[in-house]
Amino acid sequence: MNITLSINGARIEVDVPPRMTLCDALRQKLQLTGTHIGCEHGVCGACTIIVNGRAVRSCLMLAVQASGATITTVEGLAHGDDLSPLQAAFRRHHALQCGFCTPGMLTTLHALLTEEPYASEERIRDVITGNLCRCTGYIPIVEAALDAREAYQRSRESAPL
């Protein structure tokens, strides 16, 4: 089936089998392998992408259901060569070790901080309870998100929604 969608700012047409999951379509059909698969049960959050502004588990969605959607994946977070403030904060805070959960953490937190740039530590923690990480113990991830808030606050002020 042919579907058209917008991914990381580009309009893309792709032919997918009806039963193909969205994460498989991204990874296999579009070579966007930054989105990872950790469980395929909707529990680990590694496959999280942003669909029409909301953090979504791409393992629980069929590609055909994304027809017409606007999608951001981890590959779409940086601005050209410059890391996004959240990505840079992850680096500074050692918020990744193996980096396998990282794309899902980044997209989840990007969606959160875009909506709620003043999110509290508790709120941040609460939102990423749905993302498993075996390496970091989560503390540096929360610290990185807190550190990145300011940039989201600034961009909200300069471009009010």
Partner 1 sequence: MTGKTIGVSVPRLEDLPLVRGAGRFVDDIHLPGAWEAAFVRSTHAHALIKHVDTAAALALPGVYGVFVLADLLPHVATHLLAVGLPSPSYRQIVDRPILAGEEVVYAGEPIAVVIADNRYIAEDAAGLIEVDYEPLPAVSDIRNALDEAAPRTHRNAPHNLVAEMQLAFGDVDAAFASAPRTRSEQFFLHRGGSHSMEGRGLIAYFDKIDGILTTYNSTQTPHAAKRLLCDILRLEDDKVRVITPDLGGGFGPKLVFYQEEAVVCLAAKLLGNPVKWIEDRREHFISSAQERDQRWDVEIAYDHDGLILGVRGLVLHDHGAYTARGVNVPYGSLSALPLAYEVPTYRMGVKLVLTNTVPVAPVRGAGQPQGIFVIERLLDMMADELGLDRAEIRRRNLVPAEQMPRTKPFVTRGGIKVVMDSGDYPASQQQALDRADWDGFHNRQAAARTDGRYVGLGVANYVEGTGRGPYEPVTVRITNAGKVQVSSGAVAMGQSTKTMLAQIVADQLGHDMDNIAVTTGDTAATTLGFGGFNSRQTVLAGSSAHAAAIKMHDKLIKVSSVLLEVAEEDLEIYGNRVRVKGSDAEVSFAAILQAVSGIPGFRLPDNISPGLEFTEQVVIDPMTYASGSAVAEVEVDIDTGHVAVHRIVFAHDCGRVLHPQIVDGQVLGGIMHGLGNALFERMIYDENGQPITTTFADYLLAGADETPNMELIHLSAPTPLNALGIKGVGESGVLPIPAAVISAVENALSPFGVKITQAPISPPELVALIVAARNRQSVTAS
**Binding flag, residue 44, ligand FES (CB under 6 A):** yes
Options 24, 30, 45, 144; binder of ligand FES; rule CB under 6 A: 45
Task: In whole angstroms, give the CA distance from residue 44 to residue 100.
Answer: 11
Residue 64 DSSP code: G
Q: In Å, how far are 11, 34, 81, 158 from 71, measured between CA atoms?
A: 10, 14, 20, 23
Residues 6+ away with beta carbon under 8 Å from 125: 138, 142
Per CB under 6 A, the segment of 61-69, 73-81, 84-92, 95-103 that binds ligand FES is 95-103
Q: Which two tokens stand for residue 123?
A: 């709120």
| Nearest-approach distance from CB 157 to partner 1, in angstroms | 25
Task: In whole angstroms, give the CA distance from residue 21 to residue 59.
Answer: 6
3-state secondary structure of 104: helix
Task: In whole angstroms, give the CA distance from residue 153 to residue 74.
Answer: 21
Options 101, 113, 128, 144; binder of ligand FES; rule CB under 6 A: 101
- Site size toward partner 1 (CB under 8 A) is 55
Name which of 5 and 93 has its Cβ closer to partner 1.
93
Contact set for ligand FES, span 118-147 (CB under 6 A) = 133-136
Q: Which does 57 bind (CB under 5 to 8 A by kind): partner 1, ligand FES, none?
A: ligand FES
Do the Cβ atoms of 125 and 64 come closer than 8 Å?
Answer: no
**Binding flag, residue 1, partner 1 (CB under 8 A):** no
x-or-dash string of contact with partner 1, 114-143, rule CB under 8 A: -----------xx-xxxxxxxxxxxxxxx-
Interface residues with ligand FES (CB under 6 A)? 37-40, 42-47, 57, 59, 96-102, 133-136
